[in-house]
Homo-oligomer: A and B are copies of this chain.
Amino acid sequence: MVERVETMVRIPVEQRRRQLVAAAFTVIATRGLAATSARAVVAEAGMSLASFHYAFTSREELLEMLITEVTDGEQAAVLPQELAGKTLEELLIEGLTGYLEHLRADPLREQAMLELTQYAIRSQPELAQHQYRRYREIAAAALQLAASETGTRWQVPLGTVARLLVHVTDGLTLTWLVDRDDRAARDALAAAARALTALAAPEPPTAPEPSPQE
């Protein structure tokens, strides 16, 4: 009664989980989290519905793995490449411009990240916290590099500047996704770089002499 099925493929669970996660991210980016049903995901991955619940016990579990994997794989798209002979402000502008280009190149990706954050805030707060800790780590690394490379020093705790930088990139993302105004985004980004620069000051000489204040 059952026909010979020629397309049946046997794939180990781990690989299938990865495939489903990737497919899910694609669906979220293109059609939104609300439309990311189990059926839509398996359709995107080209497998049957049963494989979904063989690999994951629930949709929630898939999303959990998705968020974890995506935020851990998050790279510093912000790091400027040419460091030599630039001022801090120039470095910040380049870094932020790099982020804007990253955003412009693949807006759906950042939109998906945003939707996942919002989902996580409601459904898996720890995941959202982890995601933002990672963002801040990346920001802090970039800021520290920029400062040390230009012989400057942050006047405010690095973690605080990093937090502020994440605010800026988040805002940049949200606003640009809304209006797609490249020119305005670049202006705002330049202003942000200029403003952030005010939080740094030239580093005192390498061998710190006791200041003659007492």
Measured CB to CB, the residues of A under 8 A from B are 32, 34, 111, 114-115, 117-118, 121-122, 125, 128-129, 131-132, 156-157, 159-161, 163-164, 166-172, 174-175, 177-179, 184, 187-188, 191-192, 194-199
B191 pairs with A117, CB closer than 8 A: no
- The 7 sampled A-B contact pairs (Cβ below 8 Å) are A32-B122, A117-B178, A160-B191, A164-B192, A168-B171, A170-B170, A194-B198
Q: What is the count of identical protomers in the complex?
A: 2
Residue of B nearest to A179 (CB): B129
Closest chain-B Cβ to A33's Cβ sits at a distance in Å of 8
Given A175-B166, A194-B156; A121-B111 close (CB under 8 Å): yes
Docked-complex contact A171 and B175, CB < 8 angstroms: no
